[in-house]
A and B are shown apart, each in its own frame.
Chain A
């Protein structure tokens, strides 16, 4: 293996690492129940994304709207009539807040996952490649944070970032960064482990011999190969970040209702309603959370199972394993390579 051939993946279009492609390849691999779960997950996630993108068109009212041309909204009105899913104790329209909530959730997922991938990948690469004291300290710190209840880490971070109070952008950013801190150790672990494994591979040595700088080896040779498992962690973390955001909101660390719609915060407000039998203020935001998390988790779980030969549907294993014996076609796609696992 010469340095020239290892550089090949670099020439590939960046698109090969996009999330879409792994999902497509997983779909082709799947059979029966697994395919069903993957499809259900994709549909649920798709509806969530679509709702978030078209929220201004779908929602009958604004998320903070308390009145329209006919006067102010009634409070705690049962579903029906002008307010399809009823109104809250504060007089907000439940349906509108559920729909607008998708935007908040999506924003937080995007910011949180991007931030944690950046930080986690960089730290993991550097820590694994350089090693020594830096590596040991980072590992111990990451382990300590990893072992700790993630919600508490998020709470501490929320205090640090916003002092607990939040505006729209501040709130979203605070929630996202809090969630990021929880996730960095996970990305860090995976990338570091891969980096250490790859460091010993002949192609890295070859690159050194040819005279590539450490930075080039890290960013080109190792990075490209170490990030294959990221789509999986990405989907699992996206669902977890929704739960963490809702948890923060439920504890009162949410985003103020006047600046954005957030499901966890709405559930917090609905808690008192439950006792008096008012179910619609809590049920619908709760179902929205379950819907979103379920969709993302089903996608993530399916990818996980399909990557694990022990869990993949049994019927196709032999045929697929045979197909991978000729891996030439799969050079660009990282996930295909999982199949060569004995």
Chain B
């Protein structure tokens, strides 16, 4: 038995994804390889989603089945080309994707690509807001927990982090709404902005779709404060979920680096504890933090779907839920594919940033 238990792997390594290493070469080659790896990832996801969605049948039957007489249904299926062999449809779909044509939604007859850009901005805004909350809350608290390890602050913060994780984002959102909007009446209940603000913002020249940016550009301060007051609760709900994960991550990694010899050497030179934690121990701990943050983008997008539904935040997630209810699988497929692209690109960026920070990553 003894030889079997010589070198158990660390659990952290087993659970965190192992990054594939590009062989040889410098930074340029590393970036190139990482970049090329985006495409198979997206292709696999698109292929999986396409075939999975088609196992159950064609989108038109799913959306209209039972509401149209069979002959009419057949006619529409034929007109849309869904009665052709599945592989023909698949390659046609791929060809259309490359040119940016995602098809037309069945329930409200819009260009999917147009729908994606309209609502994508709202989701982007929510994600940025939430990420800011998560970073502001998670990283400092994680450092505090690491520094006061095994003492009361650490205990409280760790339980808090698990509580953040254990609370579904829609339940957190519902509680926040109940307390701050309904009972205290401080903040609006739902939506991205008041009706008047929304009208004034959409009337802008070349709007970015990110409301606070648009409001700032137009110099309309009342619109800006209106947008911000709408943004607080969704950002908190989604941000705190992620903050819990960041807190744990920063804590674990800073504890790891705090035990290193050079930190001890710094301490003996008289470097202040504050500086030791925030500079000496924190910087080397950044690599795993950044890598996991990249993975968190995916979690965050999943959370955004639920947050948007809770707060009627008209972004991709809100639309996704609507299209799901309407069984409009063309639109669903479009949203899923877009999110797949976002996740793949984010992972690429995360890899590059990690390589720039630490040369050891790229070998």
Contacts and interface: CB of A to CB of B under 8 A. Distances in A.
Contacts of B259: 310
A194 B246 CA distance: 28
A279 B177 CA distance: 10
A152 B168 contact: no
Contacts of A28: none
SS of B interface (majority) = helix
Nearest to B45: A144
Contact of B159 (A37, A202, A228, A282): A37
B174 A313 contact: no
B265 to A, nearest CB: 20
Interface string B163-203: 10111101100110110011100000110000000000000
A190 B150 CA distance: 30
Interface string A147-178: 11111100111011001100000000000000
Interface string B265-304: 0000000000000000000000000000001001101110
B73 to A, nearest CB: 16
Contacts of A1: 3
A151 B324 contact: no
A40 to B, nearest CB: 9
A3 interface: no
B18 A147 contact: no
Interface in A31-89: 32-33, 37
Given A146-B17, A229-B11, A251-B305, A152 B189 contact: no
Interface in B325-360: 325, 327, 329, 332, 336, 339-340, 343-344, 347
Contacts of B4: 6, 201, 203, 225, 337
Contacts of B3: 1, 201-203
B17 A286 contact: no
Interface stretch (B28-36, B51-59, B220-228): B51-59
Interface stretch (A102-110, A115-123, A210-218, A291-299): A291-299
A128 interface: no
Contacts of B104: none
Nearest to A40: B159
Contacts of B181: 275
Contacts of A308: 10-12
Given A143-B17, A189-B17, A337 B324 contact: no
A274 B41 contact: no
B166 A293 contact: yes
A189 B17 CA distance: 8
- Determine which residue in B1, B17, B18, B177 has the highest number of CB atoms from chain A within 10 A of its CB, and name it: B1
Q: On chain B, which size bracket covers the interface? A: 35 or more
Contacts of A253: 324
A35 to B, nearest CB: 12
A251 B11 CA distance: 34
A131 interface: no
Nearest to B18: A193
A177 B1 CA distance: 37
A149 B317 CA distance: 12
Given A149-B301, A250-B309, A160 B17 contact: no
Contacts of A160: 52-53, 55-56
13 contacts: A1-B3, A148-B339, A150-B299, A233-B15, A247-B302, A251-B309, A252-B325, A277-B183, A289-B171, A293-B166, A293-B167, A310-B256, A311-B255
Given A143-B17, A147-B295, A197-B9, 20 more contacts: A144-B48, A151-B306, A152-B301, A152-B339, A159-B52, A159-B53, A160-B53, A164-B324, A189-B18, A190-B14, A201-B4, A250-B168, A252-B321, A275-B189, A279-B178, A286-B174, A314-B150, A337-B8, A341-B8, A341-B10
Interface of A: 1, 5-6, 8-9, 32-33, 37, 140-141, 143-152, 155-157, 159-160, 163-164, 186, 189-190, 193-194, 197, 201-203, 225, 228-229, 232-233, 239, 243, 246-247, 250-253, 264, 267, 270-271, 274-277, 279, 282-283, 286, 289-290, 293-294, 297-298, 301, 304, 307-308, 310-311, 313-314, 327-328, 331, 337-338, 340-341
In order of increasing CB-CB distance, the 7 nearest A-B pairs are A149-B302, A286-B171, A151-B302, A337-B5, A293-B166, A294-B166, A144-B44
